[in-house]
Amino acid sequence: MSTAQLMDIPEISPLASREDYAAARRRSWVGKSERGFEVLTHDQGWEIMSSKAFDIGGGFGVVLDAVDLTSGPYREEWNKQIVCHEGDMRTKMREPYMRLLKPQQVAKLQGDVRAIIHGILDDIKDPTDVDFMAEIAWRLPTQLYCDLISAPREMAPWIGRVTESINPPLLMMDKDRIGESEAAYWEGLAFIEKHIDDKRGNLGDDFTSELIRCELEGLISHDQVKTLAMSLLIASMDNTLHQLGLTFGTLLEDRSRWEQVLARPTAAPQAAEESYRLCPRFGVIARHASKDIAINGFTFPADSWIWISTRSGGRDESKFDDADNFRMGRPASRALMFGSNHYSCLGATLARLEVSETIRIIADRFPNIHIKGDWRKVESPLVTEVEHLRVSLI
């Protein structure tokens, strides 16, 4: 990469405003920041995510390093996780997930997801004053997780507390909560180990049983059964529940958006995709260049980090007409936050089902839903969390 190339690209913060992203995109499709290079446009982001020329440079390890979790038993546990692997090991660890979370299998869960959502809505005591996150968003993925592993749904509140303590402190890069994250991890692992032991003599049609079958077939080791089961506990809930909050905050903050949903209730998946574009849970997808790699006239030097900004790419004017506005019926496009290729999000199909079915059912049962006051979200360089979202359903 030449000095001239470096001088031509804009400086951008990992927490840039919408206006700053737009100004940077007008100058170049790529920017530079304190953490490496920032890809600002949709199609170039998708090209890099899909390219086998890039790797993930140790994956989630770069986040662990950033919060000073560099050694010790907890770091060793994380180093076993699929998010810290690539190559043959990553492919091997993805196989059990692909068996249970492939689209054909997820489609079979539609009835269960709908039943859970209806049950959640039936349980709401005061429909005029609902804490959307606590009373709706938190309950759906935690109850579904219980179903996926054949655990009683009564465990959902405990499971929610554990998963909320493990992953979010790391994704929000909150060093003050690392002790909480570690304590919750060991608590969750103790549950997982006992649950696996209990399932060995009673295999069924669930994720834990499938992991045990993969071990019996020689596809994964005894230790990897625990690691992969922990991966599902860590990753399958907090990301979905915060995206539920982000989606409904986005749909309800402007009544005209919700009116579009009501006019086309069967197009709930389109509404969900628009929310991922405008307000994604994951703000970036990371890639690493282990050698010089040229893309679209720009050369990323060896050993550089490339951060594909979903917050910027989703509002790319060269890709989307009227990019800052919510519009159902747009030509189909790929949601950047779910990644691509062998680093794609394995739970994307399930997360999409949960979000779109929640939109569909609430639109049918409570078309007059509206926000009470303001909703608040908090951004880190990696993700966005919903801090406050209260609604009235009627």
Q: Is 369 part of a structural domain of the chain?
A: yes
- 13 in a structural domain: no
Domain that holds residue 150: 3-8+22-392
What would the pLDDT profile of 17-56 be if each residue is shown by its tens digit?
A: 999 999 999 999 999 999 999 999 999 999 999 999 999 9
Is 364 within the bounds of a domain? yes
Give the integer Cα–Cα distance in Å for 269 and 329.
11
**pLDDT digit string, tens, across residues 291-340:** 999 999 999 999 999 999 999 999 999 999 999 999 998 888 889 999 98
Q: Answer yes or no: is 14 within a domain.
A: no
* Residue 17 covered by a domain: no
Question: Measuring CA to CA, how many Å separate 347 from each of 44, 101, 169, 333?
Answer: 24, 6, 21, 19
Q: Is residue 52 part of a domain?
A: yes
Run of H or E residues at 385: strand 384-388
Number of domains in the chain: 1
**16 domain residue, yes or no:** no
* CATH number of the domain bearing residue 187: 1.10.630.10
pTM, to two decimals: 0.95
Please indicate, yes or no, if residue 207 is contained in any of the structural domains: yes
Burial grade of 153 (CB within 10 A; 0-12, 13-18, 19 or more): middle
Residues 96-135 pLDDT 10s = 888 888 888 899 999 999 999 999 999 999 999 999 999 9
